[in-house]
Structure 1
């Protein structure tokens, strides 16, 4: 017997299907609206994303990942992959077993770090970070309530400390100390009283070391040089001078020559940071390297200085905490933080503002600020020494600017130093110290720029690629400060220069670095002549300017090459 379905049954089925379809559509629309609402809060524009794609990957091999293909200049290789391998501006690169996402142009960095900043503001918490920071500090503190409260307080405190010309006052004072120290170094005026920084090591500064490239390139006796010129590598003095600017900002003081232990820490911190950061970042990306030579030895050596730096910081904090009142001046950063600890403990008892957090924060700012500033300024000196015309233009600009201030270096100089500021801006562009930035991590699963990002994914900005984009910077390999001047010759900041990062985790000490480098460069150009070493040519039977390679020493950080410069003191105008 056949089973027959009546017309009324078909009618009922039709109504049920229609209702089910309608209810399904409601569910889908509700989900879409909910997601859109959440996305709008994070800055996600649904019109931009037509289809979600898996992030493409650069070439890699098992165990080693993409490392064998990176070559001597990883950031430059990665920069080319986007176009050459048709990977686009967002793609994956494997560092060993770590799968990192590279942001290869400004738009990609802006999307992730500015428009979706809270989604890509984390820090990887691997064993090395946990071992060294123990959940404190700022640089490697993961995104969350603790980081938010610390970041807000630190940015606010820095604005107060640096306001009303305070940072200019500090930088000018320390630049005078640096100029005096360099003058005495060049004049061989060394006594216990003249040892300004407390730890000059003349043999480490003068160009008489066997490993100095300009000695190896000089086919003549150094005694044949013009007596007015002295060959010297200024990097150690720059390290100490710019570290003292950071110390003044953080601690409200620099260090006297008789405080030899502190002076040694100040001098050695940027040197050790330069030496160990490469190994640290390698172990940060590939944690197993922490236990493998030579990384293990380099990191352990750096840890010894880290302990010495923390010891110095603890003693300074204890000294300030024991004082019943401030010294009558405006409180410095360290004082503001100690007051915040007292306030939070009285109100809440349990707080993220602790002495341990203060120690780690001071360490992060001190080490990062000292190294990047001195290396950038050294890059600027090398580029100026190579270009006599530009060097002369900078000297003329500084001389003319000083005429407006009666010969005194003051805050009023800045509006007249357009080309000088452009030189430093161009230096940050062409040779960014952190060419691959500081790695971020994704805080939760999200879709950005048409790609799916999983929580915990490591994201790295290719700063080199942004700074060498031919669309934004024609002839990007040419050092041309005038690209940062407008039609009226006024200095303009380029938004495409992102050496200090952008977004939520932008550099806290950018103003300290920029002002410190500016006034120290002014002091160097005003008080000294400097040039590339002259070397003897056997074929031409004459002295010639030494050719130097400015490609840099590249790894996770881009360091200036080790070259000495020839220096001569410029007599004061009244002599």
Structure 2
């Protein structure tokens, strides 16, 4: 396991603390969980996991223990699902049983069960339904949202043009563009790219995802009790969450001052209206804490996942310039150089659509999604999973399944093309997860990826600062999210 001396010292401290917490509790599970590597007392299977790439560690263990096995993350047993068939049988074929949300201690430490991401039961059902309906009301799946994304893509193109083909790190700029799309729905307006508060806000989101995927973030999720009392970078995650929460709270306060129940302007106004309608109901899920956390969840999901996918995609296209050239040729043939790409164009651009799907498959921005849990005692492949058992559907293993993709370790758009060059769907494509917990912003994300990719490649050729064969497209780290390596490029006008 790749951890430094500081982590080892921290680990010893965690063990000591945990021994005090045990108090002789019986840790045996009821039911019959799948077999897996033998856990050590207290540590579980920690020493068999690389905290910089837990997902790959789990995938490697599946080669020995099979597609369904049990891993102990600290004191918590988790059932790991590897490969398309196992994940499909759980999330799709037994959708109700596997529809609960599992434990993510670092995120729960901030949300305390409010919002959408870690909520279960009726509360989750009500809040998710409200969020989906409200996002649709303000454009999700409608032309008004397409126009917002087109506008943002044009703003991004203008910023890239100002670089005058000089070396440029796209990380922060792309995050600002994708964040503005979800901000326009939630707050009712986009932000200028140089707005100081907006820059701080986007920077906080970048930090949160980086810290959550770091070894320190992984250690907190393994040992939340002791780690909450120990110093270290993991404490910055909570601090960053809280700063982002203050930003959202300030926006909510501004909305309250100008709120008109007869004319809701955006997501926050719709939530305030629902709060007003249910203010006499003591059991209502619509209150200020839930508003802040729900908004917080949507901003995180709507900013960083699309941004990271775009950054990964641009790096891959520079690695394979022949693929970039074929996409640009299709753009020229179908759209031309003078009008903005539209969502309708996608149906006539099978190669570009295949490339975007392959970017999502290959980059695996959410390699394991958030953990699931079973809603009741569940029979699965001859085992009995007790109610509440944490389940990790390894989406990475689905996208790397050789039974579903001819050469899964290679980036190849042909994975989504038929023999005539038409686009071909694949049920093993699960970047948004599957079942009841599928990403509620799936439609928005698909629209953004197509319009941002095509608008930028319509106007620019992306060229690296080194030879394509020297470009490393392996991730910097892979935990809750897959973080691509930082890079610079030249955005050369076409």
TM-score category of the 2 structures, normalised to the smaller one: 0.7 to 0.9
CA RMSD in angstroms comes to 2.5
Equivalence for 1:532: 464
Structure 2 counterparts to residues 20-59 of structure 1, below 5 A: 54-59=33-38
Equivalence for 2:86: 108
Equivalence for 2:189: 253
Distance, in Å, in 1 between the alignment partners of 2:194 and 2:304 is 24
Q: Which runs of 5 or more residues in structure 2 are unaligned?
A: 1-30
Look at both structures and tell me which one has the larger radius of gyration over its CA atoms: 1
Q: Is 1:360 the equivalent of 2:293? A: yes
Aligned to 1:69, which of 48, 63, 71? 48
Q: Is 1:79 the equivalent of 2:11? A: no
Equivalence for 2:212: 276
Task: Give the Å deviation of 1:331.
Answer: 4.1
Equivalence for 2:180: 244
Q: Is 1:442 the equivalent of 2:421? A: no
Equivalence for 2:19: none
Distance, in Å, in 2 between the alignment partners of 1:344 and 1:453 is 38
Secondary structure, aligned partner of 2:470: coil
Task: Give the Å deviation of 1:289.
Answer: 5.7
Equivalence for 2:23: none
Q: Is 1:150 the equivalent of 2:83? A: no
Task: Give the Å deviation of 1:67.
Answer: 2.7
Task: Give the Å deviation of 1:276.
Answer: 3.5
Q: Is 1:401 the equivalent of 2:334? A: yes
* TM-aligned CA distance change 1:124 to 1:390, over 3 Å: closer
Q: Say how many residue pairs are matched.
A: 460
Equivalence for 2:471: 548
Task: Give the Å deviation of 1:245.
Answer: 1.2
* TM-aligned CA distance change 1:176 to 1:98, over 3 Å: same
Instruction: Provide Cα deviations, 1:518-565, integer angstroms capped at 9, x if missing partner.
Output: 21111221222212223xxxxxxxxx5560222212331221112222
Task: Give the Å deviation of 1:171.
Answer: 1.1
Q: Which runs of 5 or more residues in structure 1 are unaligned?
A: 1-51, 188-228, 535-543, 571-575
Task: Give the Å deviation of 1:490.
Answer: 3.3
* TM-aligned CA distance change 1:354 to 1:292, over 3 Å: closer
Instruction: Provide Cα deviations, 1:107-160, integer angstroms capped at 9, x if missing partner.
Output: 22222223333322333457645531122011111x211111112222222233
* TM-aligned CA distance change 1:257 to 1:394, over 3 Å: closer
| Equivalent pair of 1:59/1:66 in contact (CA under 8 Å) | yes
Equivalence for 2:171: 235
Equivalence for 2:148: 170
| Equivalent pair of 2:55/2:368 in contact (CA under 8 Å) | yes
Equivalence for 1:309: 244
Instruction: Provide Cα deviations, 1:406-456, integer angstroms capped at 9, x if missing partner.
Output: 633334322233222221211111121121221112232221232100122
Q: Is 1:286 the equivalent of 2:219? A: no
Secondary structure, aligned partner of 1:452: strand
Equivalence for 2:279: 345
* TM-aligned CA distance change 1:128 to 1:475, over 3 Å: closer
| Equivalent pair of 2:153/2:452 in contact (CA under 8 Å) | yes
* TM-aligned CA distance change 1:109 to 1:406, over 3 Å: same
Distance, in Å, in 1 between the alignment partners of 2:276 and 2:352 is 44
Instruction: Provide Cα deviations, 1:212-271, integer angstroms capped at 9, x if missing partner.
Output: xxxxxxxxxxxxxxxxx5222211111111111111122221123674223321244224
Secondary structure, aligned partner of 1:447: strand
Distance, in Å, in 2 between the alignment partners of 1:168 and 1:327 is 26
